Structure 1
Amino acid sequence: MNFALYRLCFTTFLLFNFVALSQTKDSIPRKKITIPRIVEAPKIDGVLNDAAWQNAPIATNFVERQPNNGKPIPDSLQTDVKIVYDDLGIYFGATLKDPEPDKILKELTERDGIGNDDFFFVLLNGYNDRQQSLQFIVTAAGVQYDAKMTNGNEDSSWNGIWYSAVKINENGWVAEMFIPYSEIRFPNKSVQVWGLNMEREFRRKRTRYSWSPIDNSKGAYSIYDGEIYGIENVQAPTRLSFQPYLSAYVNDYDGKTETILNGGMDLKYGINDAFTLDMVLIPDFGQSKFDAEVLNLSAFETQYEENRGFFTEGTELFTKGNLFYSRRVGGNPSKYPNLSESEEIKNYPTSVALINAFKISGRTDGNLGIGIFNAITEKTYAEIQDVTTGETRREVVEPLANYNILVLDQRFGDNSSISFVNTNVLREGYFRDANASGLYMDLTNKNNTINYFANAEGSWVMEDSTKFGMEGNAGISKINGSHRLSGEVDFRTQDYDINDMGYSSETNYIRYGAYYGYRYLQPKGNLNNLFLNFNVNYTRRLKTDLYSNFLFNFNSSFTTKEYLGFGGGFEMTPFGTNDFYEPRVKGKYLQVPDYYNVWGWFSTDYRKKLALDVNVDWYKYNENGRDRFIFELGPKYRVSDKFKMFFNTAVTFSKNEDGFVGISNDDIIFGKRDRNTVVNAVESQYIFNNKMALNFSFRHYYSEVAYSEFFTLQPNGELLENSFYSENRDATYNNWNIDLRFSWWFAPGSQLTLLYRNAMESFVNDSRINLSNNFNNLFDKPSLNSISLRVSYYLDYNRIKGWVGNRSKANPVGFNDSKIPRQRKYDKLKKL
């Protein structure tokens, strides 16, 4: 790489920032509402007849956000929201008119799910920084959904404890909410000013209306928050909660049955008004969703989705910069055993047990976000057997290890931040240690029209010696109007490695990219929206310099007035590709012929009982007989508001691809292969009510690989036929999973889950197996059958105090006792 060029780009980037930040800011009108303190709390029942609502101010005059941005809400859908507060929290009473209340859409889903539903939601920002809000949604079916929204990006893994009720009446429907102060973060001030927005989804017409108008031509959603005034002299309660759990498993595998009993606890503690400690003690992730495992023939490991709740909830700070891949914590051991010629592995663990973990996160009044994460995993052994003597021994493949992260994230302006992230892995003894640090800048000018971004990261791996690598990028984007533009440059050195706590794949490159996009800001003709995107990327190898790839991409998306979605695109690499990764040896590369790729998709209206998603994707290479075809079909059928079914099938047929096989006598061996993959998945849900659900999911993955001839990789990247290599590399892999889960949210924050799981897999060195024999091979393998029950119960410190002491004198929600009589406070709680 020409580092002088990169320094020039970086300097130019900084100059752009100084110019941008000096621009005059457009005035963005912010709606305001001043709310009163009440003495007697309303009953949360979906009926606004309590005294507290009589003289409450009304937030009204909602404005359409989608699809006709800026259009006033029609009188037939008038939406009025009353807002009041007391020493416990803030209350919302929304009256949502509907001329045909019998047609209000109210599909039942599990908590944190939205189906074919009308819904009402509130966005609250206690720090009024127009960057991060808490989102509270209730559907017309009474289902709760909550999330953290940061600059328009939603994190639904966050779960709060709040109260809501809905009721459909002759004029439409009513949504009533109570949000305790324990769920909101706000500064320790006598006078509060919070950011607020509210929205209503009118599902029959798929229109969305917001209280504070949103301009979709520029800026993120959150910069258009309105403001709440009038909240004074309130105190956040003691934020301390416990969630103990008990779980029991009966597992049967290969004729052996074991019973496992677990117990542990999650803890949350509000260190102060801004910072929270989350800790998991004796964790149990046995009921996590199964991984969608695949037969991986690529040069890089498969990156799986995180399904463990502790690692998904409240982690928005820790994902800054993508240095943290949480599956590393408790993932695969870091070492493979040293074996003698007569030894073999008898048992090699696929994961490492987590002893405990905690995270501390929050944001100061000066908008500095601080995050600290720490986890400890236990020493793990592999069992090794001598095949001649039968003796066994154990070898450490993962020592006691500590994983930690520090994040500092300073926000400023409406949409800008500078962040520092450090990750560190320390392993006991002479095992590998690692450290990675990154500095990130994301700056938006005062007009919210131009975004500038840059980052620089370094990685250090300490094993026999220290290995250092780095990556960086810088770019600029026009983010307003119908026409959007961006350009950037990014690079990674050969030794960049964050894989002890993060995930990195491609290294040793510099890439230049440019983008142009066009979109409709308002519906036109028969289209509600239109997106056209053009992308160009040019990549070279850094060490030693060599052309890698030039790629052009066009893609499009359209939605009609009838909500039929469709689109497609085209991609090409006109000069072919030099692939540095497939040979698996530094300095080597494989010549891949140029290709063109076309695709198309469509999606029908999800308001209908039957909906359908279809995707077709075809790659054609400039090589005789080489192509890849992908077809996906996903019908969805809603039998009723309680029962629905989903089916998805995906097939991939790849012919005459060149793939790495192995290394033989210092030769890098490649094979010409055909690969066929079929994935079928079925899911059905029966939702009894807004707290109880039965969910069935099934996935079968099948992939076969058949080799026709073998080659030796040449220094110039070409392949020379190798007639001496004759190992059988054909393979067929099956993976089968069934989950049947019953969930019951029997109290706020408390859940009972009963799960039946069946799983099996097979791998054979054969291909072109007929359907019957393939399933015979699969069902002949040992299968896991597991039944588990897990019960967790949410305990709030303030309620525990009420249980321990005299209920009439207890302080059940932990606010200042001097504010109102204790009996009145307890009466409020009973009405919830």
Structure 2
Amino acid sequence: MKFFFRAFLFTVAIFFGLSTHSQTSDSIPRKKITIPRIYEAPKIDGILDDPVWQNAPIATDFVERMPTNGKPIPDSLKTDVKIVYDDLGIYFGAKMMDPNPDQILKELTERDGIGNDDFFFILLNGYNDRQQSLQFIVTAAGVQYDAKMTNDNEDSSWNGIWYSAVKINEDGWVAEIFIPYSEVRFPSKSKQLWGLNMEREFRRDRIRYSWSPIDNTKGSFSIYDGEIYGIENVQSPIRLSFQPYVSAYVNDYDGKTETIINGGMDLKYGINDAFTLDMILIPDFGQSKFDAEVLNLSAFETQYEENRAFFTEGTELFTKGNLFYSRRVGGYPSGNPNLNENEEIEVYPSTVDLINAFKISGRTEDNLGIGIFNAITERTYADIKNVETEETRKELVEPLANYNIVVLDQRFGDSSSVSFVNTNVVREGDFRDANATGLYMDLTNKKNTYNYYASAEGSWVKEGDVKFGVEGIGGMAKISGKNRFSGEINFRTKNYDINDLGYSSNVNFITYSGYYGYRYLQPKGNLNNLFLNFNLNYTRRLETDLYNRLLFNFNSSFTTKEFFGFGGGFETTPFGTNDIYEPRVAGKYVIVPDYYDVWGWISTDYRKKLAVDATIDWYKYNEPGRGELRLELKPQYRISDKWKLFLSTNVTLSDKEEGFVDLVEEDIIFGKRDRNTVINSLESQYIFNNTMALNLAFRHYYSEVDYSQYLTLQDDGTLLINTDYSQNQDATYNNWNVDVRFSWWFAPGSQLSLLYRNAMESYISDSRVNLTNNFKNLFDEPQLNSLSLRVSYYLDYNRMKNWWGPKSQSTGVDTNLINSKMGKATHNG
């Protein structure tokens, strides 16, 4: 496989005039700094008075990145960063001048949150490949934020164990940071060459300054890294850590109370300098964030956000392409029970239990990324009841199943890659099995002005017969300058199906897309930035050939010098749509009249105590009375640097829409309906300090559907009135969730979480229910009241081994020394 990748890479490199060996573009200037080894570590306390800082080299002469790209930093904000290293890791001491230190913005947030804050930002790349770096950010309030960055895409689910302290003084503020080698991947060489950039956010004026200058006219942020020289003869410590947990739940539902106590462990092991094994043993996801459930009347399933930490952290390799939707693992069962006469389903499980899972990921010195993911889920049964005899039985609806992903990702140049992804789902017995394979190419020319991309995916599903489908994408884009454009072709055959481990909705189409955009590269007049975008998409059904739609979209975005954002757009389907999905029967389609859609939005300055986002969006169809109005209002108020409120109201009013209702023998029944949906949510955060927080999250979802007429779909896509269909399809659905969570990061990587949860939902076959009766129906339903406590503790092997004896000379790292030097440093890792 590695030989195949090298050969394929060599071919495309010749074709596009790229170099597979050059790691940088020669035209991009690189700042460089050579740092010394130290033999006495500084105390991480935000005061740069340790002897090691006195003669340390200084990274200085920061340059404005935005809004005015390339402008030197003024003397009043002079920023100097001293950098040194030792056998344990690398140290940064950043001194940031501010003429008014009492006005430094320092809002407290939870870990991995940045509010109305000044902050200092480190971008560190141990392989110096300009493509994947680690972010380490500390705010002026002392809050840590860390993430993995891959070609400007952030994965903030990654949590490192590092140390920081900040101090505001009469000249400005200081950030002192220590990053252990255990958090950085780097090659096993005697002499290291790392990529580095650093930034400072001056929040009062919303100006960002970077150490190594970044040209916003072309290329991605990470290709402008500077370089660190001087790191020699260092080694990564043994990277072995355990995170045992214990959790307790008291759940009350429908008058029944149960107590559950769980215990388990996560394991992380550094196989070598580059590769890491993550394993979850006896998983517990009971405190995951609730899903934003909706009443779904569309032809496609709702795609929910992943909230389980194991499936969000360190998955950047596995999300290559679109073959991995992690909610499939432990999601809805795949089977349907066979009912005998007089039987009904009494209990059908909504999830499948996960037995265990692991992932191995990393990148070789030659920039070949390798990822392996595997998970096993438990057998799951539905309860079947005989309504006459009252007897119950169980039937298997999901067997023992194995989910597997293999990824190979070869990077080269500044931001080019070729990737191979394979996913496989095997279920025991005669249940459904599936396999999907994708090959992806993403190439940027040496000047970082044009991008070319292509992909091909194949899916195999075995459920009785074998079903095979294909997706293909090819396109190019100009990614530099004020004027940008792109073109793309995308197709999927009718049997394309990756839904066992991925997510795919529409199939059996070919789409031709074009884009043109204009932007300001520097502030001009009263505007900091301006974006104008034009999109044109033309889609046809593949089998049998049929016009689907032509869609034109224009959207715009403006930000003033006072950081007031606004914009809007226009969209239309001038020739209408032949919708091939809403009928829910292959080969059928329904004619949807042409529409136009206009919208506008505003976003006020987030530096103010009160900030507001608001959107209005109006659809009008070329059919009497048919249209849709969407309104969204999202105010937020900062009561203090510790307490913040977020409100959100989303209203959708849809009149005379036409959608699928039922299938009666050979007839496809549609309904003309009015639908009103209101979503209200409230979130309040009170942050005690940079390790302790209280969070309230509330969401109420309401949707009612009122049918005025039923229709029968004809072969030509038209709809005829049906007076014979008499079933009531009116509906009112409510979903209510309240979470109150107290979180305490009491030690590095260790957390205590106390959660109270209240949840309920109601569904009735009626509409136009008044407000009082609606809430009466909702609160008459069974409620879930849950109180849970979860405590996890981070154990590092290098620290544990000192519990039983002296330090092993083979590791080169004494974590007791690390701990003794941290002082009162932030360590909520």
The counterpart of 2:807, out of the listed 790, 806, 810, is 810
Q: Identify the residue that residue 328 of structure 1 maps to in structure 2.
A: 328
TM-superposed deviation, 1:623? 0.2
The one-letter amino acid paired with 1:112 is D
Deviation string, structure 1 residues 665-690 (Cα, Å, up to 9, x no partner): 21000000000000000000100000
> Structure 1 residues 592, 236: closer, same or farther in 2, change over 3 A?
same
Q: Identify the residue that residue 21 of structure 1 maps to in structure 2.
A: 18
Match status 1:459 vs 2:455? no
Contact 1:17 1:452 in 2 (8 A): no
> Structure 1 residues 341, 85: closer, same or farther in 2, change over 3 A?
same
1:286-297 correspondence runs (5 A): 286-297=286-297
CA distance in 1, matches of 2:769, 2:615: 27
Contact 2:799 2:815 in 1 (8 A): no
CA distance in 2, matches of 1:118, 1:390: 66
Local SS of the residue matching 1:189: coil
Match status 1:395 vs 2:391? no
The one-letter amino acid paired with 2:71 is K
Q: Which 4+ stretches in 1 moved above 2 angstroms?
A: 14-17, 19-26, 809-812, 814-817, 821-832
Q: Identify the residue that residue 764 of structure 1 maps to in structure 2.
A: 764
Local SS of the residue matching 1:39: coil
Local SS of the residue matching 1:695: strand
CA distance in 2, matches of 1:603, 1:816: 52
Match status 1:258 vs 2:254? no
The one-letter amino acid paired with 1:517 is G
The one-letter amino acid paired with 1:215 is D
Q: Identify the residue that residue 268 of structure 1 maps to in structure 2.
A: 268
Unaligned runs of 5+ in 2: 1-7
The one-letter amino acid paired with 1:579 is D
Q: Identify the residue that residue 249 of structure 2 maps to in structure 1.
A: 249
Q: Identify the residue that residue 680 of structure 2 maps to in structure 1.
A: 680
Contact 2:163 2:822 in 1 (8 A): no
More deviation, 61-70/657-666: 657-666
Instruction: Give the TM-score, by structure 2 length.
Output: 0.97
CA distance in 2, matches of 1:626, 1:219: 44
The one-letter amino acid paired with 1:680 is N
Aligned residues: 813
Q: Identify the residue that residue 81 of structure 1 maps to in structure 2.
A: 81
CA distance in 2, matches of 1:176, 1:196: 17
Contact 2:13 2:19 in 1 (8 A): no
CA distance in 1, matches of 2:275, 2:348: 40
Q: Identify the residue that residue 65 of structure 1 maps to in structure 2.
A: 65
TM-superposed deviation, 1:529? 0.3
Deviation string, structure 1 residues 59-80 (Cα, Å, up to 9, x no partner): 0000000000000000000000
Deviation string, structure 1 residues 169-217 (Cα, Å, up to 9, x no partner): 0000000000000000000000000000000000000000000000000
Contact 2:90 2:180 in 1 (8 A): yes
The one-letter amino acid paired with 2:549 is N
Deviation string, structure 1 residues 339-359 (Cα, Å, up to 9, x no partner): 123100111100000000000
CA distance in 2, matches of 1:687, 1:61: 35
The one-letter amino acid paired with 1:815 is T
CA distance in 2, matches of 1:171, 1:387: 79
TM-superposed deviation, 1:803? 1.5
1:617-632 correspondence runs (5 A): 617-632=617-632
Deviation string, structure 1 residues 530-576 (Cα, Å, up to 9, x no partner): 00000000000000000000000000000000000000000000000
Q: Identify the residue that residue 753 of structure 1 maps to in structure 2.
A: 753
Local SS of the residue matching 2:223: helix
Contact 1:811 1:822 in 2 (8 A): no
Contact 2:648 2:680 in 1 (8 A): yes
The one-letter amino acid paired with 2:610 is L
1:317-466 correspondence runs (5 A): 317-466=317-466
CA distance in 1, matches of 2:686, 2:520: 39
TM-superposed deviation, 1:810? 2.5
CA distance in 2, matches of 1:275, 1:255: 49
Local SS of the residue matching 2:321: helix
Local SS of the residue matching 2:716: coil
Q: Identify the residue that residue 798 of structure 1 maps to in structure 2.
A: 798
Local SS of the residue matching 1:584: coil
CA distance in 1, matches of 2:272, 2:294: 45
CA distance in 2, matches of 1:627, 1:370: 49
Q: Identify the residue that residue 4 of structure 1 maps to in structure 2.
A: none
1:166-565 correspondence runs (5 A): 166-565=166-565
The one-letter amino acid paired with 1:711 is L
Q: Identify the residue that residue 32 of structure 1 maps to in structure 2.
A: 32
Local SS of the residue matching 2:772: helix
Local SS of the residue matching 1:110: coil
TM-superposed deviation, 1:52? 1.0
CA distance in 2, matches of 1:479, 1:463: 44
Q: Identify the residue that residue 713 of structure 1 maps to in structure 2.
A: 713
Match status 1:110 vs 2:91? no
Contact 1:467 1:495 in 2 (8 A): yes
Local SS of the residue matching 1:138: strand
Unaligned runs of 5+ in 1: 1-10
CA distance in 2, matches of 1:435, 1:58: 53
Contact 1:40 1:828 in 2 (8 A): no
CA distance in 1, matches of 2:19, 2:189: 31
CA distance in 1, matches of 2:127, 2:770: 63
The one-letter amino acid paired with 1:376 is I
Local SS of the residue matching 2:205: coil
CA distance in 2, matches of 1:579, 1:604: 38
> Structure 1 residues 370, 767: closer, same or farther in 2, change over 3 A?
same
> Structure 1 residues 822, 325: closer, same or farther in 2, change over 3 A?
closer
> Structure 1 residues 824, 261: closer, same or farther in 2, change over 3 A?
closer
Deviation string, structure 1 residues 579-628 (Cα, Å, up to 9, x no partner): 00000000000000000000000000000000001000000000000000
The one-letter amino acid paired with 2:90 is I
TM-superposed deviation, 1:17? 7.5
CA distance in 2, matches of 1:782, 1:69: 57
The one-letter amino acid paired with 1:216 is N
Identity fraction in percent: 77
The one-letter amino acid paired with 2:175 is A
Local SS of the residue matching 1:21: coil
CA distance in 2, matches of 1:22, 1:106: 45
Contact 2:46 2:174 in 1 (8 A): yes
CA distance in 2, matches of 1:97, 1:18: 50
The one-letter amino acid paired with 1:197 is N
The one-letter amino acid paired with 2:811 is F
Deviation string, structure 1 residues 464-495 (Cα, Å, up to 9, x no partner): 01000000010010000000110010100000
Local SS of the residue matching 1:223: helix
The one-letter amino acid paired with 1:21 is L
Q: Identify the residue that residue 5 of structure 1 maps to in structure 2.
A: none
Contact 2:491 2:509 in 1 (8 A): yes
Instruction: Give the TM-score, by structure 1 length.
Output: 0.96
The one-letter amino acid paired with 2:581 is Y
TM-superposed deviation, 1:388? 1.1
CA distance in 1, matches of 2:395, 2:263: 29
Local SS of the residue matching 2:311: helix
CA distance in 2, matches of 1:35, 1:545: 64
Deviation string, structure 1 residues 209-252 (Cα, Å, up to 9, x no partner): 00000000000000000000000000000000000000000000
